Structure 1
Amino acid sequence: MWLELWTMLCIEGETLVPGSLAALPRLVALARSETQALEMAGAIVRSAMTDDHQGERMFVENPDAIAELRELVDQRLQTRPADYIWGFRTLLAIEGQFHWSAALGDFSDDFYEVACPHCSLNVTIAIGGYGYYSACRDWDAGDVDRRDLRPASVAELHGMGRWMYDLAVRDGQDRLAEGITYLMGRAECPRCASVFRMADEYAAVNLPPMLSVRLARSKIG
C-alpha cells in the first residue's frame, strides 16, 4: 500500500502530483502511528518548498496539518533516530528554510559554494571530515589556497542559526551542533583575503522568494 501511495503522491520522494497537497492532512493524521505516513508527509513538505506557489499554498491551506507535522517530527527527533538528519531537514523546511533543508548534511563531508561579496570569486567551503576551510577549487589540483574557517561562538549565534544549534544540542547531536557554528561563522576569501559570513552569502543566493512572506508570519527564537 505504501509503495503505491509513494508512487501516487510523491514520485521518487521528490516529485509532487496535483493531489499531493490535498492528501497532506490525512497523511499527518496517519503519521501519529505510521512511520511511512510521517516520512511521506515530510517529503511532500520539502518537495513543495522547491516551488514558490506550491510552498505558499501548502502553508495557507494546511496550517493545522503543518503545525501537527512539526510537532510529530520534533517528537521523533527527541528519540534520536538513526535518520536524525532527515527529521532535522524536514523541520527546516517546515520553518521555511528550504535553502538549508536542501543543502544541509550531517557535516561528515559537507561542501558549499559561495561567491565572495568583495571580489566575486567562487569560494568552496568545506565543513567536516575533509577539514574546515575556504579554498579555490581546481579540478586538477583539488582545493587550493586553503584558509581556516572561523566558527561563530555560541553567543554570536542568533535567529535560525541559534535555533538550529539549540535543537542539535538538545538531542545530543554534537557533530551537527559543531558544524552549525562553522556554517554560521566566517570564511576568508583566498583571492582578496576579505572575511565574510558564509551563511549570509549562501542564503542571499538560495533563499526562496516566498520566504520573506513566510518569515514575516513567524518568529524563530
Structure 2
Amino acid sequence: MTDWPRLSDAYGSAEGVPDLLDRYEADPEAVSTELVDRLCPMYDTAFSASFAALPRLLGIAAGRAAGERLEVLYLAGAITRCARSSPEAAQMGTLEAAAFCRLTEETLTTPMTAVDYVFLLQSWMAFQGAEVWDRNLENLAEGEHEVDCPYCGVMLTIVFGEEGHFASSEDYANPKAQRSPLRPIDPAQAGGAVQQLYRRALADGQRVVAHGLPYMFGQAVCTDCGTELSVLDRRA
C-alpha cells in the first residue's frame, strides 16, 4: 500500500495524487495539465510520487484504446526518462517497463501525425532504457538540433526537413548565411538505435519520420573550419 502523504510531487505533499489519478482516469482532458504539472513538470523532472504513480498510469493506458493513450504514454515515458537521475528510480520495475513498452509498440502501429509519432518513439526508447535517444528524438519533430564542432567548438545547427538538409553556424534564416549540405547516414550501417528506429518508422508507415532520421544523424561539415563530423557521434 502506497503511503502517499510521505511522498512528494512538484507541489509538495503527494497526498492528493490518488484522487487526481482517479479524476484523470474518468476525464483525462479535465485534469491532464494538472497531473503533468504535479508529476513531471515540463516532462523533464520527476518526484517520488511520479514513480509511485507508474503502476496506476500503466493500468489507465492498458484500459484505453490505442489511439486514446498517447498522453499517458508520453507522461510515463518522461517519468521513466528521469529515472536515471532520481534516487526513487528503483520503483520502476523491469516488468512494468516491459509492459509499457508493449503498449507503446501496439500504439505506434495506429494512425497519427508525424509529431505525435516522434514523441511516442521517444517514450518507447525510454521504456527500453535507451539513453540519449529517450531525450533527443523530439528534435526530429522540430526539424533541427545542435551539435558542436569537435575541432573549433562552434555550435552548428543541423537542419533537416522543409527548410532543406544542411548545417550552419549562422542564423540560417538569413539568405546570406553559409550552409553545408548534410550527407545522410546509412541506417543499416549505423546499427543500434538508429537502425531500430528507422525500421520501426518504415514498418509503421511513417515515411516522413523514416526519411528524416538518416539526415538527423548524418555527416556534416563545419561552416567555420571545414571539419567533417558525424552528427551521430556528437549526440551519442
Shorter-chain TM-score tier: 0.7 to 0.9
State the distance in 1 between where 2:129 and 2:184 align.
24
Partners of 2:168 and 2:177 within 8 A in 1 = yes
Residue matched to 1:113: 146
Residue matched to 2:18: none
State the distance in 1 between where 2:196 and 2:108 align.
14
* 3-state DSSP of counterpart to 1:112: strand
Unaligned runs of 5+ in 1: 204-221
* 3-state DSSP of counterpart to 1:145: coil
Q: Does 1:162 align with 2:195?
A: yes
Q: 1:66 aligns with which of 97, 100, 106?
A: 97
Alignment of 1:6-17 (within 5 A): 6=35, 8-11=38-41, 14-17=44-47
State the distance in 2 between where 1:13 and 1:40 align.
12
How far did 1:124 drift? 1.2
* 3-state DSSP of counterpart to 2:57: helix
State the distance in 2 between where 1:188 and 1:153 align.
17
Percentage of identical aligned residues: 26
Q: Which has the higher strand share?
A: 1
* 3-state DSSP of counterpart to 1:155: helix
Residue matched to 2:64: 34
Partners of 1:135 and 1:190 within 8 A in 2 = yes
Residue matched to 2:117: 84
Which of the pair has more CA radius of gyration? 2
**Closer/same/farther in 2, CA of residues 120 and 108 from structure 1, 3 Å limit:** same
Query: Alignment RMSD, CA only?
Result: 2.9
How far did 1:8 drift? 4.8
Unaligned runs of 5+ in 2: 1-22, 25-30
Residue matched to 1:181: 214
State the distance in 2 between where 1:134 and 1:81 align.
29
Ranked by relative contact order (alpha carbons within 8 Å, sequence separation 6 or more), the top structure is: 1
How far did 1:50 drift? 3.7
Instruction: Count the aligned residue pairs.
Output: 202
